[in-house]
């Protein structure tokens, strides 16, 4: 312990001695570093930062067709794309350089100033995530402007990718629906026209054609009539499916959403005023949900009406046809009771000119038309269902976009984020003091030349007779005093310059 | 060394005794020591003229050395005297050489020589053998002279002329008892033509003359590194001191320099804390 303290004392004495010998050099280093740091601090570019925090709501699990990479990744890439950067360049007031390379450099520079950080469940698309967009610039006003614009672009670009795909799907299906609606209307018109053209003829008794006598039609025609009767009865007995269940589901979904938002609004109003951003947002969403619900209801009613009208026409026609067929069968059998089917008569008693045969042919054409109509109707209903799914997806995507909530809008930066002059100066002063000391220490530590009797004694071969202490001559003393004064003047000048700079900086209004 | 020892044996006064030297000693020792008529004649004619007289116990002028430094040089002188006494030497020749230039060896040699004269009745002579960087004449002479040892060694004197030259060579200083042989012009060295000054017969004769005197001879030698002159001069010395300046040499260089000399002659190291600036302090 004693030896350590002795060596420490020796080290301090050596530092003092070396420092005294190199006082001018050390003072010069101190002065250069201190003043250099001051100049650097004065001209250090000030940077301002403005950031906005956007809360991204979790994705709805019922929204189909939105699989893919996380939304935040996509939007980050979009926001940092050249197109958006050019938009920012124009918005920020930069003069667009003519040189493409200079333009690239400017865009890269703008890009390097933007940082988008996502926290929370945004990466795996589960749970809410907080996206923080930060922009750094030397101009506080431009920083604020660009940060606001970036937030707006982020929200805009977050909505578009999802919405675009859903809208395209919806428009395609909607086109198909319209096409099949037209086809269905045509088929319906054909059926009605055919029915009006042919159905009245057999029922109208004409003098030329006596009422059919029992047994006047062949067994084969009778069998055909019976088959048609069975088909018509099956058709009439078929239970009517509910029209457009998806429309019903969508309507109920919107209703539930409206109720939910109404509850949230009431809850918010107990705490906040009408001007609060959350209240405004919920009101807007509530109005949207109500509008959607009304629209879904109107569409459902329209679909039901259309479908019912078609259905009624078809059913009426089928019922009349059934009556006709039953009348023919009754006439053929004579008592209105359906006789047991008999084997068809192989004799060629009928011919194409036979009115009964013509009636059967007309019935077959009618069935064909009905089948075509039914096929079109099935496709139409299926397309309606798909269109509603697409509409729900589109609405959900839009709804999700609207749920991008700006938690923290950007604010005008009041203070720079870069190091302040005081910090730079303090750091520089510390370096200015420590650097000469470190140099002295390095000289003592790494310069192997003999500086003490102990080093000589460690050689071990020769005795150290005496140590001649250093005592400066009067001339040396005078020179040393001069050097010390000069060094002191340099250090004092540094402090005077510092004091002057800080006085001017903090007393002069900027 | 043999000359000195023989001289001491002749007087019957063994070395190591720090006896006060009296002016009469010069005459008595001379007649006993130098047996040949020519030598006696030489001594009788030259000895009293070589030095003006012994010190009467100097006090160094105030302000020349700090008290710590003065004590250090007194300590050094005492240690050297004791070392020489162990070897049977009463008066001896000390070679002071730095390991590297700028270590303050001239300062040490000068003040060591002066410290000998602090004792009453002593004579010391400082010989500036550092031809590459001679400084002693400028420090010790009020009116520095150009002539010196190098001029003496370069000139082909006859024996008679040589004695005259030697008398002119030894110059008194402001410190009583302390004499100086300055380095001289050193023209060959300055012209970049190294010359064998110290292996010459003139140098040997000069050293023989000096060692024959009851005085302390201090040779201010050149740096060990870069020239063999320090090693050549070590042949004339009884004791050798290595001077290490502050932050001038590494321990390895010190060890290598020490290995160049006869260990029996190597008295030790003097560490000069003021030797780092490379400036010759004018003390």
Task: With beta carbons under 8 A apart, name residues in chain B contacting A469.
Answer: 66, 68-69, 72, 273-274
Exposed/middle/buried for residue A203 (C-beta within 10 Å: 0-12, 13-18, 19+): exposed
Tell me the sheet residues that pair with A408: A53
Question: Mean per-residue pLDDT for A474-483?
Answer: 89
pLDDT for A312 equals 72
Question: Mean per-residue pLDDT for A309-316?
Answer: 72
Residue B98 host element (H or E): strand B93-98
Task: With beta carbons under 8 A apart, name residues in chain B contacting A459.
Answer: 251, 254-255, 258
Question: Mean per-residue pLDDT for B16-22?
Answer: 41
Q: What is the pLDDT of residues A227-266, one digit of tens each?
A: 777 777 877 776 555 556 677 778 888 888 888 888 888 8
Chain B segment 94-133 residues within 8 A of A by beta carbon are: 104, 107-108
Residue B92 CB neighbour total at 10 angstroms: 23
CB contact under 8 Å between A471 and B108, yes or no, is: no
pLDDT for B282 equals 43
The contacts of residue A164 (CB under 8 Å, 6+ apart) are none
Q: Whole-angstrom Cα distance, residue B270 to residue B283? A: 17
Q: How close, in Å, is residue A432 to chain B by CA atoms? A: 26
Question: Mean per-residue pLDDT for A22-46?
Answer: 91
Interface test with B, best of A25, A466, A471, A475 (most B CBs within 10 A): A466
Q: How close, in Å, is residue A459 to chain B by CA atoms? A: 7
Examine the pLDDT at B268 and tell me if it is beyond 80: yes
Chain B segment 48-87 residues within 8 A of A by beta carbon are: 63, 65-66, 68-69, 72-73, 75-76, 79-80
Phi, psi angles (nearest 5°) of residue A55? -90, 120
Q: How far is CA A290 from the centre of its chain?
A: 24
Question: Mean per-residue pLDDT for B166-181?
Answer: 89
CB contact under 8 Å between B79 and A465, yes or no, is: yes
Pair of tokens at residue B150: 């190098």
Q: Whole-angstrom Cα distance, residue A289 to residue A296? A: 10
Q: By percentage, how much of chain A surpasses pLDDT 90?
A: 12
CB contact under 8 Å between A456 and B269, yes or no, is: yes
Q: Scanning every residue of chain B, which has its alpha carbon at the shortest distance from the alpha carbon of A468?
A: B272
CB contact under 8 Å between A448 and B68, yes or no, is: no
Q: Are the beta carbons of A286 and A262 closer than 8 angstroms?
A: yes
Q: What is the pLDDT of residues A398-444, one digit of tens each?
A: 665 546 778 888 888 877 776 678 888 899 999 999 999 999 999 88
CB contact under 8 Å between B269 and A471, yes or no, is: no
Strand A48-56 versus strand A405-408 pairing type: antiparallel
Q: Are the beta carbons of B58 and B176 closer than 8 angstroms?
A: yes
CB contact under 8 Å between A468 and B242, yes or no, is: no
Question: Which DSSP symbol is given to A241?
Answer: P
Q: In what order do the strands lie in the sheet with A48-56?
A: A114-120, A129-137, A48-56, A405-408
Top-confidence range, A124-138, A363-377, B200-214: B200-214
**In which residue are the tokens 């082909």 written?**
B156
Residue B72 host element (H or E): helix B67-86
Considering only CA atoms, which of B178, B169, B175 is closest in space to residue B146?
Answer: B169
CB contact under 8 Å between B272 and A468, yes or no, is: yes
Q: Whole-angstrom Cα distance, residue A310 to residue A197? A: 19
Q: Scanning every residue of chain B, which has its alpha carbon at the shortest distance from the alpha carbon of A455?
A: B251
CB contact under 8 Å between A464 and B271, yes or no, is: yes
**pLDDT-derived band of residue B233, with 50, 70 and 90 as boundaries?**
very high
The contacts of residue A225 (CB under 8 Å, 6+ apart) are A217, A325, A328, A329, A332, A360
Q: How close, in Å, is residue A19 to chain B by CA atoms? A: 13
DSSP output for A290-357:
HHHHHHHHHHHHHHHHHHHHHHHHHHHHHHHHHHHHHHHHHHHHSSSS-PPP-PPP-S----TT-HHH
Q: Supply the ipTM of this predicted assembly.
A: 0.76
Considering only CA atoms, which of A135, A177, A480 is closest in space to residue A299?
Answer: A177
Interface test with A, best of B81, B95, B104, B247 (most A CBs within 10 A): B247
Q: Whole-angstrom Cα distance, residue B39 to residue A206? A: 191
Q: How close, in Å, is residue B137 to chain A by CA atoms? A: 19
- Closest to B72 (Cβ–Cβ): which among A449, A450, A469? A469
Task: With beta carbons under 8 A apart, name residues in chain B contacting A455.
Answer: 251
pLDDT for B204 equals 92
Interface test with A, best of B60, B111, B244, B249 (most A CBs within 10 A): B244
Q: Are the beta carbons of A369 and A187 closer than 8 angstroms?
A: yes
CB contact under 8 Å between B72 and A466, yes or no, is: yes
Q: Whole-angstrom Cα distance, residue A190 to residue A373? A: 9
**pLDDT-derived band of residue A70, with 50, 70 and 90 as boundaries?**
low
pLDDT for A385 equals 85
**pLDDT-derived band of residue B161, with 50, 70 and 90 as boundaries?**
confident
Q: Are the beta carbons of B261 and B234 closer than 8 angstroms?
A: yes
Examine the pLDDT at A465 and tell me if it is beyond 80: yes
CB contact under 8 Å between B267 and A465, yes or no, is: yes
A interface residues, B as partner, C-beta within 8 Å: 21, 447-451, 453, 455-456, 458-459, 461-474, 476
Q: How close, in Å, is residue A6 to chain B by CA atoms? A: 19
CB contact under 8 Å between B248 and A461, yes or no, is: no
Considering only CA atoms, which of A242, A249, A245, A262 is closest in space to residue A293?
Answer: A249
Q: Whole-angstrom Cα distance, residue A103 to residue A30? A: 43
The contacts of residue A509 (CB under 8 Å, 6+ apart) are none
Q: Whole-angstrom Cα distance, residue B31 to residue B257? A: 41
Q: How close, in Å, is residue A465 to chain B by CA atoms? A: 5
Residue B257 CB neighbour total at 10 angstroms: 24
Count of A-B CB contacts under 8 Å: 99
User: Any chain A CB within 8 A of the CB of B225?
Assistant: no
Q: Scanning every residue of chain B, which has its alpha carbon at the shortest distance from the alpha carbon of A474?
A: B63
Q: Whole-angstrom Cα distance, residue B130 to residue B222? A: 4
Examine the pLDDT at A22 and tell me if it is beyond 70: yes
pLDDT for B62 equals 46
pLDDT for A278 equals 83
A93: left (phi over 0), alpha (psi -120 to 50) or beta: left
Strand B266-272 versus strand B239-245 pairing type: parallel
**pLDDT-derived band of residue B7, with 50, 70 and 90 as boundaries?**
very low
Task: With beta carbons under 8 A apart, name residues in chain A contacting B283.
Answer: 473
Task: With beta carbons under 8 A apart, name residues in chain A contacting B246.
Answer: 450-451, 470
Q: Whole-angstrom Cα distance, residue A162 to residue A390? A: 12
pLDDT for A490 equals 95
């Amino acid at each position: 312990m004693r030896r350590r303290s002795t060596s420490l004392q020796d080290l301090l004495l050596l530092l003092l001695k070396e420092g005294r010998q190199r006082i001018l050099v050390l003072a010069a280093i101190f002065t250069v570093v201190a003043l250099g740091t001051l100049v650097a601090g004065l001209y250090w570019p000030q940077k301002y930062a403005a950031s906005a925090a956007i809360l991204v709501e979790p994705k709805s699990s019922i929204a189909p067709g939105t699989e893919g990479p996380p939304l935040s990744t996509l939007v980050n890439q979009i926001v940092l794309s050249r197109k958006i950067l050019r938009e920012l360049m124009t918005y920020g007031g930069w003069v667009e350089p003519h040189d493409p390379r200079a333009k690239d450099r400017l865009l890269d520079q703008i890009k390097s100033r933007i940082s988008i950080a996502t926290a929370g469940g945004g990466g795996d698309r589960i749970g809410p995530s907080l996206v923080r967009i930060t922009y750094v610039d030397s101009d506080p006003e431009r920083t604020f402007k660009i940060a606001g614009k970036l937030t707006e672009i982020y929200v805009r670009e977050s909505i578009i990718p999802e919405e675009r795909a859903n809208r395209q799907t919806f428009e395609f299906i909607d086109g198909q629906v319209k096409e099949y609606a037209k086809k269905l209307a045509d088929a319906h018109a054909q059926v009605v026209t055919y029915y009006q053209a042919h159905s009245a003829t057999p029922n109208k008794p004409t003098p030329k054609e006596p009422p059919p006598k029992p047994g006047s039609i062949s067994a084969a025609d009778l069998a055909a009539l019976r088959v048609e009767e069975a088909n018509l009865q099956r058709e009439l007995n078929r239970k009517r499916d509910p029209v457009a269940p998806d429309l019903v589901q969508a309507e109920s979904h919107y209703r539930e959403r409206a109720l939910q938002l109404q509850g949230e609004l009431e809850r918010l109003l107990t705490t906040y005023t009408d001007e609060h951003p959350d209240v405004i947002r919920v009101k807007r969403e509530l109005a949207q949900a109500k509008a959607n619900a009304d629209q879904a209801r109107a569409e459902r009613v329209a679909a039901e009406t259309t479908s019912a009208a078609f259905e009624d026409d078809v059913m009426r026609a089928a019922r009349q046809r059934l009556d006709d067929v039953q009348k023919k069968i009754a006439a053929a059998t004579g008592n209105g009771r359906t006789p047991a089917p008999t084997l068809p008569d192989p004799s060629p008693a009928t011919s194409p000119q036979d009115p009964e045969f013509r009636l059967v042919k007309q019935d077959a054409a009618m069935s064909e038309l009905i089948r075509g109509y039914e096929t079109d109707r099935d496709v139409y209903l299926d397309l309606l269902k798909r269109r509603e799914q697409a509409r729900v997806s589109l609405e959900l995507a839009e709804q999700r976009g609207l749920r991008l909530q700006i938690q923290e809008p950007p604010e005008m930066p009041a203070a720079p984020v870069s190091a302040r002059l005081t910090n730079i100066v303090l750091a520089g002063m510390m370096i200015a003091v420590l650097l000469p000391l470190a140099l002295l220490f390095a000289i003592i530590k790494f310069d192997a030349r003999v500086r003490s009797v102990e080093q000589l004694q460690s050689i071990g071969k020769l005795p150290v007779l005496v140590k001649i202490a250093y005592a400066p001559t009067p001339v040396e003393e005078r020179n040393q005093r001069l050097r010390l004064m000069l060094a002191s003047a340099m250090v004092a000048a540094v402090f005077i310059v510092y004091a002057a700079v800080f006085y001017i900086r903090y007393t002069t209004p900027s | 060394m043999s000359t000195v020892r023989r001289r001491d044996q002749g007087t019957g006064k063994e070395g190591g005794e720090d006896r006060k030297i009296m002016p009469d000693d010069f005459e008595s020792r001379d007649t006993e020591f130098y047996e040949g008529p020519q030598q006696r004649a030489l001594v009788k004619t030259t000895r009293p003229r070589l030095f003006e007289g012994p010190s009467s116990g100097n006090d160094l002028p105030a302000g020349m050395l700090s008290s710590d430094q003065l004590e250090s040089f007194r300590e050094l002188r005492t240690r050297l005297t004791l070392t020489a006494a162990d070897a049977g030497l009463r008066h001896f020749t000390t070679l002071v050489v730095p390991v590297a230039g700028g270590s303050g060896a001239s300062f040490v040699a000068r003040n060591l020589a002066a410290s000998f004269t602090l004792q009453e009745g002593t004579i010391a002579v400082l010989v500036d053998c550092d031809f590459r960087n001679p400084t002693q004449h400028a420090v010790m002479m009020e009116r520095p002279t150009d002539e010196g040892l190098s001029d003496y060694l370069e000139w082909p004197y006859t024996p008679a002329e040589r004695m005259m030259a030697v008398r002119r060579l030894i110059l008194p200083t402001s410190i009583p008892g302390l004499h100086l042989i300055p380095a001289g012009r050193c023209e060959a060295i300055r012209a970049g033509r190294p010359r064998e000054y110290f292996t010459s017969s003139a140098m040997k004769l000069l050293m023989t003359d000096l060692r024959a005197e009851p005085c302390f001879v201090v040779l201010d030698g050149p740096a060990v590194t870069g020239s063999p002159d320090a090693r050549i001069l070590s042949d004339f010395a009884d004791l050798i001191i290595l001077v290490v300046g502050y932050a001038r040499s590494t321990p390895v260089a010190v060890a290598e320099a020490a290995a160049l000399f006869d260990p029996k002659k190597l008295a030790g190291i003097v560490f000069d804390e003021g030797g780092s600036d490379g400036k010759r302090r004018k003390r």
